[in-house]
Amino acid sequence: MDTSDGRLDDNEYIPISPGKTAWLRFKKDPLAVTGLVGIVIMLLVALSAPLLANSRPLLFISDGTTEFPFLRYFFAPDSGETFIERFFNYFLIFIPFALLTAKLIRRRRKLRNIIIIIFALLWLIPFSTIGKRMDRTDWRAITSHSKNSITVFAPVKYGPYDQVSTPYLKSSVRHLLGTDQIGRDILSRMIYGTRVSLAVGLMATAISLFIGVTVGMLSGYSGGKFDLLMMRIVEIIICFPTFLLLLILMSLFMDSNFTQSILIVIGVLGLTGWTGLSRLVRGETLKTRNLAYVQSCVSLGVPRWRILLYHILPNITGPILVALSFGIAGAISAESGLSFLGFGVKPPTASWGELLRQAFDNPFEYWHLTLWPGLALFVSLCAFNFTGEGLRKALDPKSKS
């Protein structure tokens, strides 16, 4: 109750939502917070890659004319993996717009959602209408000879595919992380390689999450012969050597000259990595379906799909989130391993595993091709694993740490 000065009585209980309680527990774990910060940094680097590393000026003003040379290739990248490039470029603008709209229009939720949906659809138009075009204009030479001009380059003035220096050049002022086997800037390729790693990790895990949660919930809730059949299928899939299966499927697809090799990696990892999650979700569903609130829904005649989506799924999200974090780390590691063996994304697409592969002949001589990609992999895997462990502790009410 309120005291005379408007404050709450010290003995009055203020309820806290389970989500807020988990967040407060999560924040007390320094390793978990460090991992979350690392994930956010990776996402920011992946989203803003064209603004961080680009051989084309972001802004060029000369003789009264203003140009944005990088803009056309923002919508139509000159990369073989155009889907991933356009995906991140799309969300580079869409996410800030959605967050700004949500902040400005807080109360009128319906209007806010309509504006965001309309912008999302309109923002797709330039990505689908602007065609790809090869351009080998040396903007650095043009801007160096242009007087009375204003040029704004990205912090790294090299694209991931530009051959700009001597092969296997060590770290220097011009190339902070050195160059690869054909003279491309490693820092630029590391930045764009973040897109490949995150795209594979997030998308492959999303596919595994959808299949695993669907199979696990249906199997655990239905029980009987359906549960028996689904679990036998899961066990059969688990018996296959996953990495060997990945190599076989990747080699078959690559022989067909499919250009979007990263989509093959995402599909293969996503369609083979859901079995463990399905068994986890099945176990949680088996425990939850016998609880009183679920049985009351059954007795009231609530449809099965509604029970699964609105009553069971929200109460088993904790283990799913933990598995999601560890699954992303596993997918990133698998993609790097495939690229290191030559079965991952096709060159010249930038990938951390592909950079490691270039140093395979002499890793000590080409230490810069071993150190930087290896360090990036180590940091990214630690970030997701620390976050996953922090989520496990925060969502487990029995955890004392």
Cut 0.75: pTM above it: yes
What is the signed CA dihedral for 43, 44, 45, 47, rounded to 10 degrees?
80
CB atoms within 10 A of CB 40: 11
In the predicted model, is pLDDT for residue 84 greater than 70?
Answer: yes
Cis peptide before 348 (omega within 30 of 0): yes
Burial 246-263 (b: 16+ CB within 10 A, else e): bbebbeebeeeeeebbbb
Q: pLDDT, tens digit, for every residue of 209-257?
A: 999 999 999 999 888 888 899 889 888 888 877 777 777 777 777 666 6
pLDDT of amino acid 314: 86
- Residue in the structure block whose two tokens are 């209007």: 111
**Higher pLDDT among residues 328 and 11, named by residue:** 328
Q: pLDDT, tens digit, for every residue of 167-187?
A: 899 888 889 999 999 999 999
Q: What amino acid occupies position 213?
A: V
- What are the Cα distances from residue 34, in Å, to 26, 30, 318? 11, 6, 20
Query: Which segments within 96-179 are labelled E, that is strand?
Result: 150-152
- Architecture in CATH of 186-395: Orthogonal Bundle (1.10)
Lowest mean pLDDT of 26-40, 118-132, 235-249, 321-335, name the range: 235-249
Rg (CA), the chain: 25
pLDDT of amino acid 13: 52
Tell me the C-alpha distance between 61 and 143, whole Å: 10
Domain limits of the chain?
A: 48-152, 186-395
pLDDT of amino acid 215: 92
pLDDT of amino acid 107: 84
pLDDT band, residue 2 (cuts 50/70/90):
very low
Q: How many helices (H) and strands (E) does the chain have?
A: 18, 3
pLDDT of amino acid 259: 63
**Higher pLDDT among residues 202 and 345, named by residue:** 202
pLDDT of amino acid 271: 84
CB atoms within 10 A of CB 24: 11
Query: Contact at 8 Å (CB) between 357 and 342?
Result: yes
Tokens of 335: 């993609």
In the predicted model, is pLDDT for residue 297 greater than 50?
Answer: yes
Mean of the per-residue pLDDT values for the chain?
86
Q: pLDDT, tens digit, for every residue of 33-69?
A: 999 999 999 999 999 999 999 988 888 887 778 888 8
pLDDT band, residue 15 (cuts 50/70/90):
low
**Higher pLDDT among residues 18 and 307, named by residue:** 307
Q: What amino acid occupies position 88?
A: F
**Higher pLDDT among residues 122 and 15, named by residue:** 122
Mean pLDDT, rounded, for 119-146: 82
pLDDT of amino acid 201: 92
pLDDT band, residue 400 (cuts 50/70/90):
low
In the predicted model, is pLDDT for residue 29 greater than 80?
Answer: yes
Residues 6 or more apart whose CB falls under 8 angstroms from that of 158 comprise 53, 55, 164, 175, 184, 185, 187, 188
